[in-house]
Structure 1
Amino acid sequence: MSKTTVRLGQNDLARFMPMYVIVGVDGKIRDVGPLLRKVLKGTRFKGRDFMSLFEFHRPQGFGEFDRIETLLNAKVLVNTRCNRLRKMACVFAPLPNDDGFLVNFNLGIGLEEIVDEKHLVATDFAPTDVSIDLLYMVEMQKAVLGAAQGLNHQLNGAKIEAEEMAITDPLTGLGNRRALLRFVRRLLSRDLSKKFAVILMDLDHFKAVNDNFGHAAGDYVLKTVANRLRSETRPLDMVARLGGDEFVVVLPNFGNVKTLESFFDRIIQKISEPVQFNQDTCEIGISLGAIVTNGDPFDSIDQILSVSDTALYESKNQGRGRFTIVSH
């Protein structure tokens, strides 16, 4: 079978094999393709020993260039000794007239990193090289995955926001009845030897604020009361608004009754401070009814609140601005 020799000019060679290296029989590099020059920018090639720039990863231990002919039909992996390119595949082909060797490299597993680092574009590669197309597919998959993850985060965020709204009083930002029920259920599921206090609170003279200054003033007063209750409670406490001018505070690990009484005195004093709304001064007070319990005698939070309500009614009857404590 006759052999056909194909002669390519330097421009055609660079176009079809932009990562080629031409090595003489003496192991000296005579020419290098433009893509290899670009990814190893700053490296001097011409006249250097091939083995001073490249080391063989497979076959291992290959260190003599004069044995290169044994690799003509072998799968070869090389590393650059400067460690900027690792595990590149390459093939060796003899040049006509025993004039040396043509070596054609492929970027291999480091392709994505090198493309990003060196800002390579499609025109840097051979027209038939699918490397860039594969990278585009990978980037497209990443973009789709990123969009899906972003949508998932949005959905999770919307779910969390919806759940938060479902347990939050929209006017004051406090917990609502649902949040209160959830909180007390957790307390009831714990060690029943630990007591907690549930305090039902009702504003005094709040109707007069709405009647005299309007509902905008009433809403402002409710927000102010909510902020004052927050400032007097701990992060582990629950502060909720049940509706209207009715608030609930739940105190786990409250200490003793004297500590509780001191807390009530502070609440009554704090809430009774006048609230300034525009040019109007809103005068309010607060009455409290509390139950101290471990939850043992009760089947539901509604039963606990019913006892607190009875204590609150007693405080109202005694002249308002007072507290009443019931222990169970």
Structure 2
Amino acid sequence: MNIPYTIDANAAAMIMPMHIAVSQQGRIMGAGPLIRRLLGDAQYLQEVLVADMPRFRQNPGNDVLAEFRSGRRVLMRVRGHDDLILRGHGVPICDQITLLNFGFGMALPHAIKTFSLSEADFSPSDNAIELLFMYEASRAIMGEISRTNEALEQERREAERMSVTDVLTGLLNRRGFYIECGKLAAAGGTQELAMAVLDLDLFKEVNDSLGHAAGDEVLVFVSEAIRSGVRRGDIVARVGGDEFLILISAFDSRRSLRAILERIIERIEVPIPLDGATARLSASVGVTTFSMSLGCDLADVIRLADAALYKAKAAGGGGVRMSDED
């Protein structure tokens, strides 16, 4: 026995938040709370939704409401949101009113993101709830993967940085020095460059009399003295206990080159206050000039500068010796 019944607007809104009641002229007579967010202040269905099916694209004059009233599924595109296609079915509830009910289908993730939808927006029995849970879980997983990848990338960058950095002083190490010089060679240019090898004088005495911890403090001080004495574009590295490499990329003359290195020595000779003591030392520098190119053998260049360093040491230290000086 069939018993006729009606359902009020509140109940319809609860179980069909995506329903629209329209007149034969397409006027919106009522709508569920979720679809209302898409409709806004629209008075007629065609202001917001347009049929997205071949026969309607070929003949826009086709009667969409007749299609709904026939019970067939209709795809509707939301104006202003080309990626949002709704699936809809309809049923006539009287001669003048057709009840349409929609779902997001495959457009659900896009709708969730666009309209910030949550579980509360859907009917408790809607299959979209399961899809929403899957979407949220997928988003959480992807977020975690993204955070993990970012952490791994940060660790990779830090490992790469540490592989070219002297841990004590923060200067480049030998590997980092060669890498930076290689970049300079790859960039081209024919300007004259200078390679300097700097070695501390009296550093062994500091270590022997004040201890290795004091020696480490001295190396940090010396590193800052060298760093502050060079210019942008110059390359500095600590490559041994108290040995440093300096590539000077711009100088006006041999006299100005010597002046740069002598000023660095003067900075190093400033007494270094330590815990309960003062360290005094100097530095010797050997330097050679050359032109950088992809075929340049940096090891040979450094050997020339190193040979000049030994001459500076033999002369009593605390000075600069060019590789071509007797």
Q: Same fold, TM exceeding 0.5?
A: yes
Q: Hey, what's the Cα distance between the residues in 1 that align with 2:80 and 2:243?
A: 75
Consecutive unaligned residues of structure 1, counting only runs of 5 or more, are none
Out of 79, 91, 94, which is 1:93 matched to? 91
What amino acid is aligned across from residue 262 of structure 1 in structure 2?
A
Quick one: structure 1 residues 302 and 257, their matched pair in 2 at CA, closer, same or farther if it must change by over 3 Å?
same
Q: Hey, what's the Cα distance between the residues in 2 that align with 1:303 and 1:154?
A: 41
Which TM-score applies when normalising by structure 1?
Answer: 0.79
**Kept in 1: contact 2:50–2:79 (CA 8 A):** no
Q: Hey, what's the Cα distance between the residues in 1 that align with 2:318 and 2:25?
A: 104
CA RMSD of aligned residues (A): 3.8
**Is 1:245–2:242 an aligned residue pair?**
yes
For 2:310, the equivalent position in structure 1 comes to 313
**Kept in 2: contact 1:271–1:285 (CA 8 A):** yes
Quick one: structure 1 residues 6 and 311, their matched pair in 2 at CA, closer, same or farther if it must change by over 3 Å?
farther
Q: Hey, what's the Cα distance between the residues in 2 that align with 1:82 and 1:252?
A: 58
Q: Deviations over 1:155-210 (max 9, x none)?
A: 22222222221221111111112222333445566758543211111111222222
Which TM-score applies when normalising by structure 2?
Answer: 0.79
Q: What are the within-5 Å matches in structure 2 for residues 147-166 of structure 1? A: 147-166=144-163
**Kept in 2: contact 1:197–1:252 (CA 8 A):** yes
Quick one: structure 1 residues 227 and 56, their matched pair in 2 at CA, closer, same or farther if it must change by over 3 Å?
same
**Is 1:56–2:50 an aligned residue pair?**
yes
Out of 151, 167, 171, which is 1:170 matched to? 167
Tell me the secondary structure at the aligned position of residue 236 of structure 2: strand
Q: Hey, what's the Cα distance between the residues in 1 that align with 2:180 and 2:17?
A: 69
The alpha carbon displacement at 1:99 in A equals 5.2
The alpha carbon displacement at 1:113 in A equals 5.8
Q: What are the within-5 Å matches in structure 2 for residues 151-300 of structure 1? A: 151-186=148-183, 193-294=190-291, 300=297
Quick one: structure 1 residues 315 and 6, their matched pair in 2 at CA, closer, same or farther if it must change by over 3 Å?
farther
Q: Hey, what's the Cα distance between the residues in 2 that align with 1:106 and 1:220?
A: 71
**Kept in 2: contact 1:200–1:309 (CA 8 A):** yes
Q: Hey, what's the Cα distance between the residues in 2 that align with 1:318 and 1:72?
A: 106
Q: Deviations over 1:70-94 (max 9, x none)?
A: 55345545577898x9654433321
| Residue range with higher mean Cα deviation, 281-290 or 114-123 | 114-123
Quick one: structure 1 residues 55 and 136, their matched pair in 2 at CA, closer, same or farther if it must change by over 3 Å?
closer
Q: Deviations over 1:83-142 (max 9, x none)?
A: 8x965443332125x353212133467644654576543353234422232233233223
What amino acid is aligned across from residue 17 of structure 1 in structure 2?
M
Q: How many residues align?
A: 317
What amino acid is aligned across from residue 195 of structure 1 in structure 2?
E
For 1:18, the equivalent position in structure 2 comes to 17
**Kept in 2: contact 1:204–1:285 (CA 8 A):** yes
Consecutive unaligned residues of structure 2, counting only runs of 5 or more, are none
Sequence identity (%): 32
Q: Hey, what's the Cα distance between the residues in 2 that align with 1:270 and 1:246?
A: 16
Quick one: structure 1 residues 114 and 289, their matched pair in 2 at CA, closer, same or farther if it must change by over 3 Å?
same
Q: Hey, what's the Cα distance between the residues in 2 that align with 1:25 and 1:138?
A: 37
| Residue range with higher mean Cα deviation, 99-108 or 173-182 | 99-108
**Kept in 1: contact 2:69–2:98 (CA 8 A):** no
Quick one: structure 1 residues 223 and 103, their matched pair in 2 at CA, closer, same or farther if it must change by over 3 Å?
same
Tell me the secondary structure at the aligned position of residue 215 of structure 2: helix
Q: Hey, what's the Cα distance between the residues in 1 that align with 2:7 and 2:171?
A: 80
Q: Hey, what's the Cα distance between the residues in 2 that align with 1:76 and 1:313?
A: 90
The alpha carbon displacement at 1:15 in A equals 4.3
